[in-house]
Structure 1
Amino acid sequence: MSSVDICEKHRQQSTKTSFISFAFPYSHLRPCAHRCKQYVVGRSYLLQLQPKNRRNSHFSYSCEACQTEARSTSTENNISTHALSFTERLWKTYTNTATLLTNLFPLWTLLVAVLALRRPTTFTWLSTPYFTFTLSILMLSMGITLSPRDFKRIWKRPGIVILQFCSCYFLVPFLAYVLGRLFKLPSDILAGLVLVGSVNGGQASNLCTYIAKGNVALSVIMTTATTLGAIVMTPLLSKFVLGTVVQVDALGIAWSTIQVVLIPIALGMALNRYFKSFVDIILPISPVVGVIATCLVVGSAVAQCNKLILSAGISLQIPIFLLHLIGGICGYFLPYLLGYNEVVCRTVAIETAMKSSAFGFVLACLHFTAYRVRVPCAISVVWMSLVGSGLAVFWRYKPVQNLKGFRSDLAQRLRQKRQLDEMK
C-alpha cells in the first residue's frame, strides 16, 4: 500500500508526509467510512498527535466531503428516528393498555354482572339476535388467529387433547347431571345446568392459562378442538341427556352451532389465509374486541334473567359454582395420575373448569321453550370467569415443581428409597 492511498485532501493539508508514514503505519489506515475508495486520516489527529499517545488515540476514517454528506444524512436519520420512536411509543402505549384490559377480564365480567343485576335496563337492549351476532364476533376474533398448522399440531399431542375433550363432553355433563339431582333442582333448571356442561370450552381459558403459567399453545389447541367438537357433541348430548328431561330440538341446536361457531371460525381462518396484511392490522385489536363482546354477552345474559337469579338465591349458586370448581379439580388430577407434568395439569384443569356459558345461553334462548333453562347459563357466565381466574391467580404465585410428571416423580422417589435401603 503506498502513500497515494491516503486521501489527497488530507495529504495536501499535512506539511509532513513522512510524519504520516511514521506516525501511521499502513496497518492503522482505514478505508473511508462512507466508501469513497480512499484511505484517510483525520487532519485534527495529525496536528494534535503526541508521541506518547499515538497508539491509543482515535481519529476519523472519513474524508471531509464524505463527512459533510454524513452530517446531512445523520440529520435526516435523526428526524425519521424521532418520528418512528413517537409511533413506537404510541403503539407501545396501546399494546400495554390492551394487555391490561385483557388481563383484567375477570374483573370486568364481575363488574358487568353486578351492574346487570342492579340496573338490568343497561343491557336489555341487546336482544337475542344482537346477542347471537356479538357471540359470532367473539368467535371470529378467535378464528383470525388460527391456521391449518394449528390443527396439525393437535396430532402431535393427541393423547392429552383427547383426554381434555372427553373431560369436556363426558365428565362435566355427567357431573352437572349428578349435582342437579343431588340438589333436587327442577327439570328446567336441571336442563340448563346440563346444557352448561355440554358446551365447548370458553375462549377466556387461554388468558387464564397464561396467568397460571400453563401451556398457552396447548390451551389454544384444546379450545379449538372442543369448539369444533361442539358442532356434533352439543346436539347429541342435548338429545340423549336433556331429551329425558325436557323437549329438545337437536337439529336446531346443530344448525345454531354451525352459524355461531363454525361459520365465524371458518371466515376468520379464510381472512388469515388470503388477507394476511388486513389481519395483521386488526389482530392487535381483536383481544380488546373479544373482551368487550364478552362483557356485552355477560351483561345481556344476566340482565334477561335478573329476577330469576335474585329469586333463586344461593340454592342455585352452589351447584353451578361446584360444577366449575370440581371440574377444574378433576381436570388437574386426571392428567396428573396419567403421568403428565404440572404445566399440562394446570392447562387441562382450566380448560375443563371454564365453559362457553354464553353459547349455552344462546342455545337456551333459541331452542328451549322453558324460560328458566337459560338461568343456569346466565349464572354460569359469572362463576366460570371467577373460578377460572381464581385458579389462575392461585397457580401464578405457586412455583411449578413437577416438570417431569407423576410417573417420573414416583420413579425417582422409588429409586431414592432403594438407594437408602441399600446404604442401610
Structure 2
Amino acid sequence: MSQEQQAGGAWGESARGRRLSTLLSASAVVAGGSGLVETVEGLRGGGGDQAVAVKENKLFKAYETGARWFTNLFPIWLCVFSGIALKDPSVFAWFTTEYFTAALAVLMLSMGITLSPKDFVNVLKRPNAVMVGFVFCYIMMPALAYALGIGAGLSPALLAGLVLVGCINGGQASNLCTFIANGNVALSVMMTTITTLGAIVMTPLLCKLLLGTVVPVDAVGIAFSTVQVVLAPIVVGMMTNKFFPSVVKAVLPVTPVVGVLSTCFLVASAVAQVAPTIISAGLALQIPIILLHLLGGLIGYFLPKAMGFSEVSSRTMAIETSMKSSAFGFLLAKLHFGSFEARVPAAISVVWMAITGSMMAIIWRYIPVETPKFDRGVKGRFEKINFLSVMRRKFGKDAEGTAKGA
C-alpha cells in the first residue's frame, strides 16, 4: 500500500491521535500541529537535565492524550452545554455580547496564526475544489435556506434568520469533522479560510438581495462587523505567525481544549438567550433548519462525485457545505436585525450543524477510502494529490511542500 493510501484511509489510531490534537480548527481544534511537534521535540532533549526532560515529556504526553479524548467528545460537550442552556438559561447570563464577540475574534485569530501567504498561493495552484465549495457556500446554501423557509411558512423574522444562516461562511469545526471522516484536512482548512474571508462581501450582499424586501437589512453594519470579527483577527494572526513564531509555538499545545470550551460557551450562550422561543417554536422551526444542514451535506457530497472529484474531496466538500459558522450568524442577527426572532434560527443551527457534521464524520470514519493520486476537477482536469505531503506541510515540521497540479 502506498504512503498516500495509508495517509488517506488507513491511519492507525495512534497516528490519528497525534494528528487530531494538532488540527487547525477555530471551534474545536484551532491550530496547526507543527508547533506541537516542535514542542515535543524540544522536551525530548537538546541539553539540560535529561531526567527533567523525560518527566516533562511524560507529562506532556499525558496532557496530549487527555486533550485528544476531550476534543473527540466535542459533540457530546456541545449537547450537554446546549441542554443546560435550555433548562436553565441563567447559567450563561454572564456571557454577554462583548464576551461573545471577543470569543469569536479569538477563534478567528487562532486560524490566522497558522496561515501564511503561501497557503493562498497553493489555492491558486489547485482551485477547483475551493471554487466549488465557495459556490456551494454562497449560492446553493442561501437559495436552499430561502426555499426551506418559504416552504415551511416561516414568519418574515424567522425567514430572515434562516437565510442569514445560509449566507454565512463555513464553520471552523468542519476541520475536525473532516479529519475524523478521512477527508482532506488541508483542503478543508483552505475552504474554511476562503469562505470566511468571502463573508466580508458575500454575507451583507446576499442578505440585502434576498431579504431587503422582507426585513430591514443593515448591509454596511454587517460588513463592518465581519471585518471587525473576521478579517482583523485573521490578519493579526498571520502577522503574529510571521514575526513572532515562538509565541505561536508556545500557544499551540493548549488551543485544542481552549477551542472546544470556547465553542461550547458560544453555543450555550446563543441557545440560552432565545431558549423560550426555541422551546415554543417546536418542530415547525426545527425541521427546516435540520434539512438545511442535512440536504447541504448530501448535495455537497453527491454533486462533487458527479463532477469527478474523489471520495476524499467529496467528503470534505460535504462537511464544509453542511457546517456553517452559526455562532457568527447569531451575532450578526443580534447586532443588525431588529427583530428578536431573527436570531432564533442561528441559535438552533449551532446545535444541529454540529450534530449533522459529527454524524457524517463518524459514519465515514468507518467506511474505508483510498486517497487517489489524481482527483478530477470540474472541467475534467486531473489534479495531483499527495495527501501525506500536504499533511506534513500543514501539520508537521518535516514537510516538503503541498501537492502541485499535474
TM range (shorter): 0.7 to 0.9
- The alignment status of 1:127 with 2:100, answered yes or no, reads no
Q: Which residue of 1 aligns with 2:291?
A: 322
**Does the aligned pair in 2 maintain the 1:200–1:230 contact within 8 Å?**
yes
- The alignment status of 1:97 with 2:48, answered yes or no, reads no
- The alignment status of 1:254 with 2:223, answered yes or no, reads yes
Q: Which residue of 1 aligns with 2:332?
A: 363
Partners of 1:295 and 1:128 in 2: how far apart?
15
Deviations 1:58-115 (A, max 9, x none): xxxxxxxxxxxxxxxxxxx999332211110011111222222222211111111001
Q: Which residue of 2 aligns with 1:106?
A: 75
Q: Which residue of 2 aligns with 1:228?
A: 197
Letter in 2 for 1:172: M
Classify 1:237/1:399 alpha carbon distance in 2 versus 1 (closer, same or farther; 3 Å): same
Aligned with 1:300 (options 249, 269, 294): 269
Q: CA deviation at 1:401?
A: 5.5
Q: Which residue of 2 aligns with 1:215?
A: 184
Deviations 1:6-60 (A, max 9, x none): xxxxxxxxxxxxxxxxxxxxxxxxxxxxxxxxxxxxxxxxxxxxxxxxxxxxxxx
Q: Which residue of 1 aligns with 2:147?
A: 178
Which secondary structure state, in structure 2, belongs to the residue aligned with residue 200 of structure 1? coil
Partners of 1:302 and 1:352 in 2: how far apart?
23
**Does the aligned pair in 2 maintain the 1:340–1:405 contact within 8 Å?**
yes
- The alignment status of 1:144 with 2:93, answered yes or no, reads no
Q: CA deviation at 1:152?
A: 1.3
Q: Which residue of 2 aligns with 1:419?
A: none
Aligned with 1:279 (options 234, 248, 252): 248
Partners of 2:331 and 2:338 in 1: how far apart?
13
Which secondary structure state, in structure 2, belongs to the residue aligned with residue 369 of structure 1? coil
Letter in 2 for 1:334: L
Partners of 1:284 and 1:302 in 2: how far apart?
29
Partners of 1:191 and 1:358 in 2: how far apart?
16
Which secondary structure state, in structure 1, belongs to the residue aligned with residue 163 of structure 2? helix
Q: Which residue of 2 aligns with 1:291?
A: 260
**Does the aligned pair in 2 maintain the 1:198–1:234 contact within 8 Å?**
yes
Letter in 2 for 1:217: A
Classify 1:86/1:247 alpha carbon distance in 2 versus 1 (closer, same or farther; 3 Å): same
Letter in 1 for 2:326: S
Aligned with 1:386 (options 355, 358, 373): 355
Letter in 1 for 2:344: V
Which secondary structure state, in structure 2, belongs to the residue aligned with residue 383 of structure 1? helix
Partners of 1:159 and 1:180 in 2: how far apart?
30
Classify 1:405/1:218 alpha carbon distance in 2 versus 1 (closer, same or farther; 3 Å): closer
Which secondary structure state, in structure 2, belongs to the residue aligned with residue 355 of structure 1? coil
Partners of 1:282 and 1:237 in 2: how far apart?
37
Aligned CA-pair RMSD: 1.8
Letter in 1 for 2:209: F
Partners of 1:327 and 1:364 in 2: how far apart?
21
Partners of 1:271 and 1:232 in 2: how far apart?
25
Letter in 1 for 2:260: V
Q: Residues 40-51 of structure 1 correspond to what in structure 2 (within 5 A)?
A: none
Classify 1:191/1:93 alpha carbon distance in 2 versus 1 (closer, same or farther; 3 Å): same
Aligned with 1:350 (options 312, 319, 326): 319
**Does the aligned pair in 2 maintain the 1:141–1:287 contact within 8 Å?**
no
Aligned with 2:126 (options 154, 157, 161): 157
Q: CA deviation at 1:406?
A: 8.2
**Does the aligned pair in 2 maintain the 1:141–1:289 contact within 8 Å?**
no
Which secondary structure state, in structure 2, belongs to the residue aligned with residue 90 of structure 1? helix
- The alignment status of 1:268 with 2:237, answered yes or no, reads yes
Letter in 2 for 1:229: G
Classify 1:402/1:84 alpha carbon distance in 2 versus 1 (closer, same or farther; 3 Å): closer
Partners of 1:245 and 1:78 in 2: how far apart?
67
Deviations 1:98-135 (A, max 9, x none): 22222221111111100100111111111112111111
Higher relative contact order, structure no. (Cα contacts within 8 Å, ≥ 6 residues apart): 2
Which secondary structure state, in structure 2, belongs to the residue aligned with residue 155 of structure 1? helix
Letter in 2 for 1:365: K
Deviations 1:274-333 (A, max 9, x none): 110111001111222211111111010000001000000111111100000000000001
Q: Which runs of 5+ in 2 are unaligned?
A: 1-45, 378-406
Partners of 1:97 and 1:139 in 2: how far apart?
24
**Does the aligned pair in 2 maintain the 1:106–1:386 contact within 8 Å?**
yes
TM, length-normalised to structure 2: 0.79
Partners of 1:169 and 1:311 in 2: how far apart?
30
Q: Which runs of 5+ in 1 are unaligned?
A: 1-76, 408-424
Deviation larger for 145-154 or 157-166: 145-154
Partners of 2:136 and 2:48 in 1: how far apart?
58
Partners of 1:225 and 1:214 in 2: how far apart?
18
**Does the aligned pair in 2 maintain the 1:199–1:234 contact within 8 Å?**
yes
Q: Which residue of 2 aligns with 1:41?
A: none
**Does the aligned pair in 2 maintain the 1:138–1:289 contact within 8 Å?**
no
Letter in 2 for 1:191: A
TM, length-normalised to structure 1: 0.76
- The alignment status of 1:117 with 2:81, answered yes or no, reads no
Letter in 2 for 1:136: A
Q: CA deviation at 1:153?
A: 1.4
Aligned with 1:376 (options 345, 349, 359): 345
Q: Which residue of 1 aligns with 2:309?
A: 340
Partners of 2:191 and 2:48 in 1: how far apart?
48
Q: Which residue of 2 aligns with 1:313?
A: 282
Give the length in aligned residue pairs. 332
Partners of 2:234 and 2:376 in 1: how far apart?
36
Classify 1:79/1:224 alpha carbon distance in 2 versus 1 (closer, same or farther; 3 Å): closer
**Does the aligned pair in 2 maintain the 1:143–1:264 contact within 8 Å?**
yes
